[in-house]
Amino acid sequence: MKQTRAFIPTLKEVPGDAQIVSHQLLLRAGLIRQVAAGIYTFLPLGKRVLEKIETIVREEHAAIDCVEMFMPVLHPKELWDQSGRWDVYGDELMRMKDRHGRDFAMGPTHEEVVTTVAKEYLNSYKKLPLSVYQIQTKFRDEQRPRFGLMRGREFIMKDAYSFHATDECLDEAYNGFVKAYNNIYARCGLDFRMIEADNGQMGGSGSAEFMAIADVGEDTIVYNEEGTFASNIEVHDLQVGDPSPDGVGVVKHAKGIELGHVFKLGTKYSESMGGFFLDENGEQKPYIMGCYGIGVSRIMMAALEQRNDENGIVWSKSLAPFDLHVIPVDVNNTEQLAAAEQVYADMKAAGFDVLIDDRDERAGVKFKDADLIGLPIRLTIGKGITEGMVEFKNRQTGESQDVALADLKDFVQAQYDALT
């Protein structure tokens, strides 16, 4: 992609309202822009990162036979009345009335809708188990939206739901999701922990939370004397090494960013919403459910919080919006521009996603932007091209060296394969 057409509005200054590094980088590297408090546009670079995350999520869900669907944003109030959540969810549930005055919730989560859609079909034990997911825009009217994509009011989530005839079958699916979640966060290049969690408003009989280790975040992670995980608590003034106020252990990570959740829901929704099946003996039973969420846009935030230096973002190979950044130092120099365009074409032909900085800007501006955007490999075509040399730079290690054009493709491939 040509940078002149790519809409990457980088910022030199740190925006005043962005307090944490990931939020600053989201704005400075041109990944997102705020439209209203807690409501953002994903610019092209940010959209590409979302796509990378979503592809990983899709692959790992396909691997556990969880099938993708797509449910609506607007949920009729009647469904939320059946589950009892219309009255208890509080101000965080966004609500609207249609032109006829009918009430709708704007989905923060889809238990009501998925149970309603599934119950027509799941009338027999023969149809169970079933496991479905969607990747979709969710809404939650946070009292104080903050930290960019961490506490937004409109955000992208993957939510999955499973349906079972027995507790054992639920356990098996739950364990499958736990494995898939570990794979997803690892492939996204995150330093994370799986920990037990409170169920909050969801209700149920077993759950775990996945947390990215970070200097920011809203949870404190506590370990017991054996050094294994004990709890995570919402106490924000603890430091690493402090004993926890409940006496359950010692603070190991002062802060964590919640990345996802797995829940055993039990029969709360199937019983309240009429989700019943006939078992082998012709007996009517509510099916047993699980639900499993991942904050897709929040993964981007956590990755930025963990992977940056003083010059900008240091993307993992898996989430980088492009693999390579090709930079002709002077686009008015015919030789440099022609060589850069050839390198661009060759690298695309080799299967890389390539961004070429074809802007008529000073070299310093281009290099600063390249470091800020943080693509894993930078190929600079400058004066050295008269001797057939290109400058290679590894954004992850900071190492750079000159490489002969003739060797470039093999060299880049080997270096790229060695990246994390």
- Minimum distance from residue 283 beta carbon to its own copies (Å): 20
State which residue, 154 or 357, has the beta carbon closest to its own copies: 154
State which residue, 231 or 297, has the beta carbon closest to its own copies: 297
Is residue 352 within the footprint of its own copies (CB under 8 A)? Answer: no
Contact positions with its own copies (CB under 8 A) in 87-116: 91-92, 94-96, 98-99, 102, 104, 106, 113, 116
- Select from 19, 55, 137, 201 the one that contacts its own copies (CB under 8 A): 137
Give 188's strand partners.
Answer: none
Q: Which of 53, 279, 35 is nearest to 187 (CA)?
A: 53
- Minimum distance from residue 123 beta carbon to its own copies (Å): 10
Say which residues have a Cβ less than 8 Å from residue 47's Cβ, sequence separation at least 6.
Answer: none
CA distance 276 to 150: 37
CA distance 32 to 9: 9
State which residue, 79 or 289, has the beta carbon closest to its own copies: 79
Q: Give one DSSP letter per residue of 146-162, joined into a string.
A: BTTTTB-SEEEEEEEEE
Contact positions with its own copies (CB under 8 A) in 18-37: 33, 35-36
State which residue, 35 or 404, has the beta carbon closest to its own copies: 35
Is residue 175 within the footprint of its own copies (CB under 8 A)? Answer: no
Token couple for 59: 């692959």
- Select from 13, 234, 360, 387 the one that contacts its own copies (CB under 8 A): 360
Is residue 299 within the footprint of its own copies (CB under 8 A)? Answer: no
- Minimum distance from residue 269 beta carbon to its own copies (Å): 15
Cα dihedral 245, 246, 249, 255, rounded to 10, equals: -60
Contact positions with its own copies (CB under 8 A) in 61-80: 65, 67-76, 79
- Minimum distance from residue 156 beta carbon to its own copies (Å): 8
Say which residues have a Cβ less than 8 Å from residue 273's Cβ, sequence separation at least 6.
Answer: 79, 82, 83, 112, 115, 116, 119
- Minimum distance from residue 196 beta carbon to its own copies (Å): 29
Whether 94 and 39 have beta carbons less than 8 Å apart is answered as no
- Minimum distance from residue 394 beta carbon to its own copies (Å): 27
- Select from 15, 19, 88, 126 the one that contacts its own copies (CB under 8 A): 126
Residue 306, judged by CB atoms within 10 A of its CB (0-12, 13-18, 19+), counts as buried
**Number of residues in contact with its own copies under rule CB under 8 A:** 61
- Select from 22, 83, 131, 207 the one that contacts its own copies (CB under 8 A): 131
Token couple for 158: 């993957």
Is residue 402 within the footprint of its own copies (CB under 8 A)? Answer: no
State which residue, 153 or 193, has the beta carbon closest to its own copies: 153
Backbone angles phi, psi at 359, to 5 degrees: -75, 145
State which residue, 8 or 21, has the beta carbon closest to its own copies: 8
Backbone angles phi, psi at 41, to 5 degrees: -95, 135
252-288 in b/e form (b: 16+ CB < 10 A) is: bbbbbbbbbbbbbbbbbbbebbebbbeeeeeeebbbb
- Minimum distance from residue 68 beta carbon to its own copies (Å): 5
Q: Give one DSSP letter per residue of 331-358, joined into a string.
A: TTSHHHHHHHHHHHHHHHHTT--EEE--
Whether 311 and 371 have beta carbons less than 8 Å apart is answered as yes
Is residue 215 within the footprint of its own copies (CB under 8 A)? Answer: no
- Which listed range, 122-130, 284-292, 308-316, 362-370, lies at the site for its own copies (CB under 8 A)? 122-130
State which residue, 77 or 409, has the beta carbon closest to its own copies: 77
- Minimum distance from residue 385 beta carbon to its own copies (Å): 24
Whether 111 and 138 have beta carbons less than 8 Å apart is answered as no
Is residue 327 within the footprint of its own copies (CB under 8 A)? Answer: no
CA distance 376 to 395: 5
State which residue, 47 or 236, has the beta carbon closest to its own copies: 47
- Select from 22, 29, 42, 232 the one that contacts its own copies (CB under 8 A): 42
Chain residues in the site for its own copies (CB under 8 A)? 1-2, 4-7, 9, 33, 35-36, 39-44, 46-48, 50, 65, 67-76, 79, 91-92, 94-96, 98-99, 102, 104, 106, 113, 116-118, 120-121, 126-127, 130-132, 134, 137, 139, 141, 143, 153-154, 360
